[in-house]
Amino acid sequence: MALTEDRPSASAEIDIEERLHEAWAEPAGIAGFLTSVDHKRIGMRYIYTAFVFFFIGGIEALIMRTQLAGPNNHVLGPEQYDQLFTMHGITMIFLFNTPVLAGFGNYLLPLQLGTRDMAFPRLNAFSYWIFLLSGVFMYSSFLVGHAPDGGWFSYVPLTSRHFSPGVNLDFWGLGVMFVGISTTVGAVNFIVSAFKMRCPGMTVNRMPIFVWSMLAMAFMVIFAVPSVTLASALLESDRLFGTAFYSAAHGGSALLYQHLFWFWGHPEVYILFVPAMGMVSTIIPVFARRPLAGYLWVATSLIAIAFISFGVWVHHMFATGLPAMAMAFFAGVGLLIAVPSGVQFMSWIATMWRGRVRWTTPMLFCMGFAFIFLLGGITGVMVSVLPFDWQVHDSYFVVAHFHYVLNGAVVFPIFGALYYWLPKMTGRMLSERLGRLSFWTMAIGFNVSFFPMHILGFLGMPRRVYTYSSGLGWDGLNLLASIGGFLFGLGTALTLLNVVVSRFKGEPAGPNPWEADTLEWATTSPPPHYNFDRIPVVTSRHPLWDQPELAYAESGEEEATRAYGLTGALERQTPISTGLDAAPEQTMEIPRDTYLPLLVALGTAVIFLGLLAKAIAVGAVGVALAALALVRWAWRTEEDLR
Amino acid sequence: MTAATSSAAVTTGAEPGVPGAPPGAGVRLQPAQRSARGHPTAWWGMVILILTEATLFGGLLSSYFFIRAINHTWPLGGIRAPDLHRISIFTGVLLGSSIPIFWAEAAIKRGNLRRLRVGLAVSWLMGAAFFVNQVLEYRSLGFGPRTNAYGSLFYAITGLHGAHVVIGLLISLVVQLKAGLGRLSAERHLTAQVFGLYWHFVDGVWVFVFASLYLSTHLH
Amino acid sequence: MTEPRARRARAALRLAGPAAGVVVLGACSRRAPSTLDPHGSAAARINGVWWLMLALAVAVFAVVGGLLLVGAFRRPRGEGDETAGGRDGPTDTTWILAGGVIIPTVILLVLAVDTVRTTRALRAAAHAGVEHVEVVGNDWWWEVRYPREGVLTANEVHIPLGRPIEIGLTTKDVIHSFWVPQLAGKLDTIPGQRNVLRFKATRTGTYRGECLQYCGLQHANMGFLVVVQSPADFATWAADNAQPPPTPSDPLVAEGEQVFTNQPCAGCHTIRGTSATGTRGPDLTHFGSRLAIGANAVPNTAANLGAWVSNSQDVKPGNLMPPIPLSGEELRAVVAYLEGQR
């Protein structure tokens, strides 16, 4: 790459390389691991950690399916089963699905936006540490033999101190508040980065569709997470301090809990689903060899889903005896949300229609997703039909439905994304053969496991039961579901094997192995720490397709433009641009590696430990640690931004 | 480790670049117009954080009205509706504490560090007075957070707000310390700006809390 | 397998699933408490909604799934690489508008109308001839009370055929959910609230019910039975159950009554006409006529009852009845006594 008007001499180029390397170097080993604020390292960490939780949650599921493979089984007693199904749900939603998508978002956003890091790199590191620590916090409950056992949604009064006197539910209540900090802070980062750090020429209607989906997701997080924070905080307050929010005897209400929980709970599933759709909308065009059809329709749909998702939460409460007309309203809005999903479906079909599909593993996962989502979306419309829900609510039909949408329609895109983007992250391709084998095993296993559950629901089988009687017609279907579950697990393990083996033996990926269109493919694989030594200038939605010679900016004399070129890269700076037009506005210095985010996170963890153990002294230590580290963190704010 | 694509410059004229620049050159950009310039990222970060905190308070106030709607009497358990006299005065004090902040922000924009410190200090005293009154009020209430759902909600809402006030007071001290050490200037006073936003939010939320918990219980 | 064959295999698999499901559905529903085998007005109404939705679902799945496959395998004229300068054509917008907005809206409108109509019908209260039952959810059993007939029993709900039924649902402790798939939709029992379930039974028989809201350790074994009888049979049952049981004449049975009232049994259970007035556990008056023990955990036989009484934790681990250590003689007596209560 030319660095000045004339080609520099070879030695000058090496000199620049060295200076770049020095400017962006991080300490080696553990110190670097604990202090890095590089969004790519943080993103990959999120993904790896989330996948660890995925496999743990998967094992929990397989143990449960073993117990349910036959009637009146004695693999697990009710206590153990109750802890397993609770932790399975918590793990998959809070510790896998949500963070893994945040991880991809973290990794990809700065690259797709054409910038050098997120708006708040230290906050980014902090959000990862909170995620890790909250997961450890919740899983430490197994170590003391008291894992949460109230179901992942922990309804009161079952989870009140009276009916659940042990410490089990405190791991849940405090854990949910804990992990919520990570999600919220991450959302702040996504929103500000997407608006203020786009490269020149990337007006809002040229943003990659994945960025749109992360923006929609982040706004949903901002407005939804406080509700679950409240639900769990008020529960913990009732449990730890004896307040009466949920106590009917003292004027409180058990339904208040459900409203607070589901006001978050429903948007949460779209918080998971929207980025997954963004991934699919990114991958299909690349392998259909044509741009996404109806980009503006799709972007609008993502936003529409974000809005509408806040108006349907009552459908989780259809069996609670609320006034029928109120529920009918929510049923209607719930039906409505199928429309924006339908729009995206048509967009994918139209994209492939005029294109010519190349069947790589990521594309296979997208097709698998499409069929699974079609079925899951259809059953979703069904359960929104109020009277029908009165029959199938809390039965295995609903278990089937939500696994179709939360497992199939979120996990399949995640696996597709893994095959698609891991080569960029590690510089090595994954094996296509293993990939296909993994996909087919997962697809078949998934359907064999979860499709029969629709029928089990019709046959009257409740969810969350540790065993069932024989002679009800449930035996064969349960056995089938268990077999399918193991097959699905095997399929996921094949991808794990693929990832491990390819790390060492995979073919070198090169910058753009898929001939894709977005800016992350304009860098090496893996990209350098600074992503772009000169910020790209885009003139289209698909820069690498429409701009054969991608343009790059040069550093200018003014404060606002100095970070765009090599000067910016050499001085660890990145540009900040205006919100709508992406015109140069300011320069931001990217913080160096620091322990502060980890320290604040540790302080926070100690606070939660203090609450769990009901030890004020411990909590106070946590507050002091977090507060001091925060002050130190904010001390140099003025110097950081110019 | 540089990007693999070549960088022969392409300028298209319509883009923020110099039309017709010689090939091999990078694109030169024009900074955004003064009028088009927005706020710093940290400011926006605080705005988003305020949105989520506002939602938290919104959820609590909604819970308050929900519990109220399902009960026949309010407040519950024979508790009297909260007295308005002192709290109205201190509402004025708290809301008024935003004024020195506006004044201080305007001052630091012109580089007047002394006025910034005075404004922050005055606002701090007003906020502290509000908080002290709240503590005293708690003692005189005659019911606790465990008494019934009304008590739980009353203490939770005013307590959460009070916690935000305390945190604001602490942040203010840090900002005042930075100002005292000369670390703020006309061009660089981001922490003061961000704190100002936060403090205005704390005051704004109080309007809703006051209206819901205090004023509305006197409407029959 | 070559690529095209692989694709077709996948397509076949995907369509085979739902098809097989429908077959299995029909086949399996005979022995199960199946929503597709309605014997009550509400369940029948909802079943009608289900068949409409299934028809629409199959159509949508077939059409959209077909479009997906065709789109994916289509090889357009020309190079097929439209990456450079590819733009939305007018057909793209048409597809998206028609397939993504208009057609779904029409389908959803149909469903919305059906939703409102069915909801209204199911919620409508009858005016005359209503049979009232009060059911109280407990961990992990159901109290069943007939205010008019003066009957108090547990885990078994008898109702007359053809008359409108109103079940008032409340809870003693946590949220439970009352569901008899073959008769009606479910309704939760919420603390501080009384919910009312309305339906009519259209065929006599014994129907299985379950608790459908996770309520703790023995949520899996909190079932109940709904016995639909002719109005005459129901009246007889109610009258019989309203009477206190006769004093036992058989010496073993009399001894059983002694054991029952002196042992911890009386502390938790009531048998009308005796000194046993405990209310923590189910009322056991006329226990001998009941079909099952322990909230439909096991059928009501002498052997099962003996096992339950001596250690119900073996049958239903974690339930709130402790093991009752009785001598062999005492156990036989109590079992004879309880089974004799018809």
Give CA angle at A317 (A151, A248), nearest 5°.
80
The answer to whether the CB atoms of B36 and A243 lie below 8 A apart is: no
Q: Contact at 8 Å (CB) between C335 and C276?
A: no
C24 touches chain A (CB under 8 A): yes
Nearest to B190 by CA among B122, B116, B123: B116
Per-residue pLDDT, averaged over A339-363, amounts to 94
What tokens were used for C118?
A: 């069915």
Q: β-strand C205-211 against C151-154: which pairing, if any?
A: unpaired
Phi and psi angles of residue C327, each rounded to the nearest 5 degrees, phi first: -70, 165
Question: Is the CB of residue A48 less than 8 Å away from at least one CB of chain C?
Answer: no
With an 8 Å Cβ cutoff, is A455 touching chain C?
yes
What is the pLDDT, as a whole number, of residue A557? 87
Distance, in angstroms, between B162 CA and closest chain A CA? 17
Q: Is A237 on the interface with B (CB under 8 A)?
A: yes
Query: What pLDDT score does C48 carry?
Result: 95
Overall average pLDDT of the A212-224 stretch: 98
What average pLDDT does the structure give for chain A? 94
Amino acid identity at A514: W
Q: CB–CB of A222 and B48 under 8 A?
A: yes
For A289-332, the pLDDT digits (tens) are: 999 999 999 999 999 999 999 999 999 999 999 998 899 899 99
Non-local CB neighbours of C326 within 8 Å, separated by 6+ positions: C259, C263, C309, C310, C334
pLDDT number for residue C88: 73
Question: Around Cβ C87, how many Cβ atoms within 10 Å?
Answer: 9
Q: Which residues, in sequence order, are CB contacts of A265 under 8 Å at separation 6+?
A: A153, A228, A313, A316
Compute the average pLDDT of residues B151-157. Answer: 97
DSSP string, A516-559: --SGGGGS-SSPPTTS-SS-EE-SSSSHHHH-SS-EEB---SST
Distance between CA atoms of A451 and A467, rounded to whole angstroms? 20
Which pLDDT score is estimated for A45? 97
**Chain B: touching chains (3 or more CB pairs < 8 Å):** A
Query: In this predicted structure, what is the pLDDT of residue A3?
Result: 42
Confidence of residue A268 (pLDDT cuts 50, 70, 90): very high
Report CA-CA distances (Å) from A426 to A365, A525, C102, C280.
Answer: 20, 7, 44, 63
Residues of B in contact with A234 (CB under 8 A): 63, 152, 156
pLDDT in the model for residue C24: 52
**What share of chain A has pLDDT > 70, as a percent?**
98
- Average pLDDT estimate for B56-66: 98
Given this model, what pLDDT does residue C79 score? 62
List, in order, residues 6 or more apart from B66 with CB less than 8 Å away.
A253, A256, A259
pLDDT of residue B5: 33
pLDDT recorded at residue B7: 33
Chain A CB within 8 Å of residue C22 CB: no
**CA-CA-CA-CA torsion sign (C274, C276, C281, C287):** negative
Query: Cα torsion at C320, C326, C332, C333 (round to 10°)?
Result: -90
Partner residue opposite A554 with nearest CB, options B27, B45, B151? B27
pLDDT score for A571: 92
What's the pLDDT tens digit per position in A563-604? 999 999 999 999 999 988 899 998 999 999 999 999 999 999
Other C-beta atoms closer than 10 Å to the C-beta of A632 total 14
Q: How many CB atoms lie within 10 A of CB B20?
A: 7
Sign of CA dihedral A291, A292, A293, A296: negative
CB B192 within 8 A of CB B116: yes
Chain C residues whose beta carbon lies within 8 Å of the beta carbon of residue A454: 21
3-state secondary structure of B163: helix
State which residues of chain C have pLDDT below 50: 1-2, 23, 26-30
Q: What percent of chain A has a predicted confidence (pLDDT) above 90?
A: 91
- B6-10, Cβ contacts within 8 angstroms, sequence gap of 24 or more: B6/A1, B6/A2, B6/A549, B7/A1, B7/A2, B7/A534, B7/A549, B7/A550, B7/A551, B7/A552, B8/A2, B8/A549, B9/A551, B9/A552, B10/A547, B10/A549, B10/A550, B10/A551
Amino acid letter, A502: S
Looking at residue B2, its pLDDT comes to 34
Shortest alpha-carbon distance between residue C45 and chain A (Å): 9
Interface-testing mutation among A259, A277, A366, A465, with chain C (most C C-beta atoms within 10 A)? A465
The confidence band for A479, taking pLDDT boundaries of 50, 70 and 90, is very high
Question: How does residue A641 score in pLDDT terms, banded at 50, 70 and 90?
Answer: low
Here the tokens at position C243 are 């009477």
User: From the CA of A371, how many Å to the nearest CA of chain C?
Assistant: 7
Cross-chain residue pair C72–A367, CB shorter than 8 Å: yes
Look at A385 and C220 and tell me if their CB atoms are within 8 Å.
no
Question: In chain C, what are the domain boundaries?
Answer: 3-75+92-123, 131-228, 251-339
Note the ipTM here: 0.93
- Cα nearest neighbour of B182 on chain A: A638
* pLDDT score of B188: 86
Nearest to A641 among B40, B49, B149 (CB): B40
As a whole number, mean pLDDT of residues A38-45 equals 97
The residues with which C176 forms a beta bridge, in sequence order, are C189
Residue A239 has pLDDT above 90, yes or no: yes
Would you state the structure tokens that stand for residue C295, as one six-digit string? 């909230």
CA distance B123 to B129: 10
Shortest Cα–Cα distance, A532 to chain C (Å): 24
Residue with the larger pLDDT of the pair C7 and A229: A229
Q: For residue A399, which of A446, A450, A459 has the smallest C-alpha distance?
A: A450
- Residue by residue, DSSP assigns C87-132 as ---HHHHHHIIIIIIIHHHHHHHHHHHHHHHHHHHHHPPP-SSPEE
Asked if domains C131-228 and C251-339 share a fold, the reply is yes
Q: What is the CATH number of domain C131-228?
A: 2.60.40.420
What digits encode the pLDDT tens for the residues C114-128? 999 999 999 887 778
Count A/C contacts: CB-CB distance under 8 Å.
304
Comparing CB atoms, the residue among B6, B149, B184 nearest residue A251 is B149
**What are phi and psi for residue C159, nearest 5 degrees?**
-140, 150
* CATH code reported for the domain at C251-339: 2.60.40.420
Mean pLDDT of A157-169: 96
Show Cβ contacts of residue B187 under 8 Å, excluding neighbours closer than 6 positions.
Answer: none
Q: DSSP readout, B182-196?
A: T---SS--HHHHHHH
Higher pLDDT, B23 or A543: A543
Task: Encode pLDDT of B8-39 as tens digits.
Answer: 333 333 333 333 333 345 888 888 887 777 88
Residue C302, chain A, CB below 8 Å: the answer is no
pLDDT in tens, A390-408: 999 999 999 999 999 999 9
Q: What 3-state class would DSSP assign to A418? A: helix
Whether A579 and chain B come into contact, CB under 8 Å, resolves to yes
pLDDT digit string, tens, across residues A403-439: 999 999 999 999 999 999 999 999 999 999 999 999 9
Q: Do B26 and A241 touch (CB under 8 A)?
A: no
Query: So what's the pLDDT on residue B29?
Result: 87
Q: Pull the structure tokens for residue C304.
A: 């099962």
Cβ-contact B177, B128 below 8 angstroms? no
The alpha-carbon gap from A370 to the nearest alpha carbon of chain B, in Å, equals 33
The SS3 call for residue A158 is coil
